[in-house]
Amino acid sequence: MRVVSFALLCVLLVSCADRSTTTGDVEPTAQQSFQWKLVTTWPKNFPGLGTAPENFAKNVERMSNGRLKIKVFGAGQLVPAFEVFDAVSQGTAQIGHGASYYWKGKVPASVFYTAVPFGLNAQEMNAWLQYGGGLELWRELYAPFNLIPFAGGNTGVQMAGWFNREINSIADLKGLKMRIPGLGGEVFTRAGGTSINLPGGELYTSMQTGVIDATEWVGPYNDLAFGFHQVAKYYYYPGWQEPGPTLELIINKAAYESLPADLQAIVEVAAAAANQDMLNEYTARNNAALIELVEKHGVQVKKLPDDVLAEFKRLSAEVVEELASEDPLSRRIAESMKAFAIQAKAYHGISEEAYYNARRQ
Ligand code: CA
């Protein structure tokens, strides 16, 4: 036993000595272990959005046999929700989980990577990111911030949101203060409303105190957990603003590059698993939550009028075009996404959509 311990000590001393003789570029070895901090924009353990990074961290630890341990912090525990991007960019935390459109003030084109109104659904977003060039452009967009983005979840088509008054025409949006981030928020403002961006944890109180008149969040499963049925009467669909929003895992570039290749692969595969798992969870749990909202809590579920949706769609095209014309990279992202959407729409018109229509009859 003592001999083994001595041998181990020698290995460690040699390895330490090796490291001390070279400054900087040390080749990561399979013996090294790492401890990372993961900051999120969600309340700690919030269903789906908050449990996804927890599961990701557990999977990474399990697959790496404890060589990469990741501690997850909810919004406000280490940094506030809207400081996640900077915290990971600067290395305060090695990894973050959130939604890219929260960073639009810093990186305008980041909004493309959460959702484009009337754009790609979850299945199509994943396809564009992985096989349509979307991820490479996203990495180019975040490179100046020392960040490597990965898709880290998708909720599927969301709901249009909770309103404390009925929406029967565009005129009903006038003066309405709604929490709606990203491109959807810009569209909502142009349609006569006022869009406000707030983190999830502040929405219930903001609705209750009248700071906002309406809010979108995700869908029945998450909205039930926040209790929005207690502070708003009408629950509108469809989620034109977020038809298949991607959540992001952002990793500090230096931290990622300090990992040996096997741990990098584990992080990549765990992110892909988290991305798919979230969609599966929402697809399974939204159904029962919707029934509970309607049958137990008497929520009125309503469809946005066709002319309101048509106006949102018209304004969305305008907003996307303006954003695309801001700089060459924004243009390349918008064009790549648009070209993909045209093809997806053509084929999904005779596959997914045709099947939905046939199933309904
Ligand atoms: Ca949303």
pLDDT at 251: 99
The answer for residues whose C-beta is within 8 angstroms of residue 350's C-beta and 6 or more apart is none
User: 153 C-alpha to center of ligand 1: Å?
Assistant: 13
User: 34 C-alpha to center of ligand 1: Å?
Assistant: 34
Q: Please state the length of the chain.
A: 361
Judge contact between 330 and 336, C-beta under 8 A.
no
Question: With the C-alpha atoms ordered 249, 253, 254, 260, is the resulting torsion angle positive or negative?
Answer: positive
Beta strands in the chain (DSSP E): 34-40, 68-73, 95-98, 147-154, 161-163, 177-179, 194-196, 214-215, 234-237, 246-252, 300-303
User: 47 C-alpha to center of ligand 1: Å?
Assistant: 14
User: 243 C-alpha to center of ligand 1: Å?
Assistant: 9
The helix-helix angle for 134-142 and 328-350 (nearest 10°) equals 160
Tell me whether the omega of the peptide bond preceding residue 238 falls within 30 degrees of 0, making it cis. yes
pLDDT digits (tens, 9 = 90+) for 97-133: 999 999 999 999 999 999 999 999 999 999 999 999 9
Query: Contacts by 5-12 with C-beta closer than 8 Å and gap 24+?
Result: none
Helix (H, G, I), strand (E, B) or coil at 30: coil
Q: Which residues of the chain have pLDDT under 50?
A: 1-24
User: 103 C-alpha to center of ligand 1: Å?
Assistant: 15
User: 28 C-alpha to center of ligand 1: Å?
Assistant: 40
pLDDT at 26: 58
- Using CA atoms, how far apart are residues 279 and 62, in angstroms rounded to an integer? 22
- Using CA atoms, how far apart are residues 159 and 286, in angstroms rounded to an integer? 11
| Annotated domain spans of the chain | 34-153+244-283
Judge contact between 101 and 111, C-beta under 8 A.
yes
pTM score of the predicted model: 0.89
Token reading at 66: 């404890």
User: 117 C-alpha to center of ligand 1: Å?
Assistant: 11
pLDDT at 25: 57
User: 157 C-alpha to center of ligand 1: Å?
Assistant: 9
User: 162 C-alpha to center of ligand 1: Å?
Assistant: 11
The answer for residues whose C-beta is within 8 angstroms of residue 356's C-beta and 6 or more apart is none
pLDDT at 134: 98
User: 72 C-alpha to center of ligand 1: Å?
Assistant: 22
In angstroms, the Cα distances linking 134 to 176, 213, 357 are 34, 35, 29
User: 64 C-alpha to center of ligand 1: Å?
Assistant: 33
CATH number of 34-153+244-283: 3.40.190.170
Helix (H, G, I), strand (E, B) or coil at 230: helix
217 burial via Cβ count (<10 Å: 0-12, 13-18, 19+): buried
User: 158 C-alpha to center of ligand 1: Å?
Assistant: 6
User: 151 C-alpha to center of ligand 1: Å?
Assistant: 16
**Terminal-to-terminal C-alpha distance of the chain:** 74
User: 242 C-alpha to center of ligand 1: Å?
Assistant: 6
Helix (H, G, I), strand (E, B) or coil at 79: coil
User: 8 C-alpha to center of ligand 1: Å?
Assistant: 52
- Using CA atoms, how far apart are residues 337 and 335, in angstroms rounded to an integer? 5
User: 67 C-alpha to center of ligand 1: Å?
Assistant: 35
